[in-house]
Amino acid sequence: MTITNEIREQVRQRANFACEFCGVTETDTGGELTIDHFRPITKGGDDGLGNLLYCCHRCNQYKLDYWSMQPDEPSLWNPRREPAAQHFLELDDGTLHPLTDEGAFTLNRLRLNRPPLVAYRVQKRQQVEEIRLLTRYREMVQLLEQLNTQLSVLTEEQRHLLEEQRELLKLLLSGRQ
Ligand SMILES: [Zn+2]
């Protein structure tokens, strides 16, 4: 069996066009990524959608045809079965810290703390922070505009009051004469 274009497309879309192990996207790498058999064909895996992962070239290169055959051999994290947060903690400096044995093994095998990936995570964090700041800035500008509108309404009301007061004074003064 071979992987048809249709299946390949399904795997791509299901993964949001990003490597399911490390998160880099087609846009980041400037091209399509690879289709990986989570359980390699040579170790009894099949071409079913449940066994296919979208994977960047580098992760695929490090993963190769690893499959735990013995009970005492460590297993790789399966991104289709469990979320990354279950196995890794992303630290502020962009490195991943393993939370489980599977996480530790996968981190090591796929070199998920390779320097360009760490730099990539730091960049992502900065982008998120910039968007957050920009949103706050926009909210503040909106608030200032609202305040300005309210202020001009108040100024107008005050002007009216002053005019009325002046009219009243005029009346009072003319009444005395
Ligand atoms: Zn990757």
Closest CA to 100 of 87, 110, 90: 87
Distance 33 CA to ligand 1 centre (A): 9
Distance 14 CA to ligand 1 centre (A): 15
Q: What is the mean predicted confidence (pLDDT) over 54-73? A: 94
HSE-CB of 104 using CA atoms within 13 angstroms:
5
Distance 73 CA to ligand 1 centre (A): 23
pLDDT tens for residues 117-166? 999 999 999 999 999 999 999 999 999 999 999 999 999 999 999 999 99
HSE-CB of 107 using CA atoms within 13 angstroms:
19
Which amino acid does the sequence have at 158? Answer: Q
In a domain, 101, yes or no: yes
Domain that holds residue 102: 5-113
In a domain, 160, yes or no: no
Asked whether 53 and 38 are in contact (CB, 8 A), the reply is yes
65 contact partners, CB below 8 Å, separation of at least 6: 40, 42, 43
Q: The pTM is what?
A: 0.79
Q: Say how far apart CA 157 and CA 161 lie, in whole Å.
A: 6
pLDDT tens for residues 96-130? 999 999 999 999 999 999 999 999 999 999 999 99
Q: In terms of C-beta density within 10 A (0-12 exposed, 13-18 middle, 19 or more buried), how is residue 6 classed? A: exposed
Instruction: Give the length of the chain.
Output: 177
In a domain, 136, yes or no: no
pLDDT tens for residues 6-17? 999 999 999 999
Distance 97 CA to ligand 1 centre (A): 17
Closest CA to 96 of 77, 121, 128, 72: 121
Number of domains in the chain: 1
Q: Say how far apart CA 49 and CA 76 lie, in whole Å.
A: 18
Closest CA to 26 of 11, 37, 5, 7: 11
Distance 160 CA to ligand 1 centre (A): 69
In a domain, 36, yes or no: yes
Render the burial of 145-176: b for 16+ CB within 10 Å, e for the rest.
Answer: eeeeeeeeeeeeeeeeeeeeeeeeeeeeeeee
In a domain, 127, yes or no: no
Distance 58 CA to ligand 1 centre (A): 6
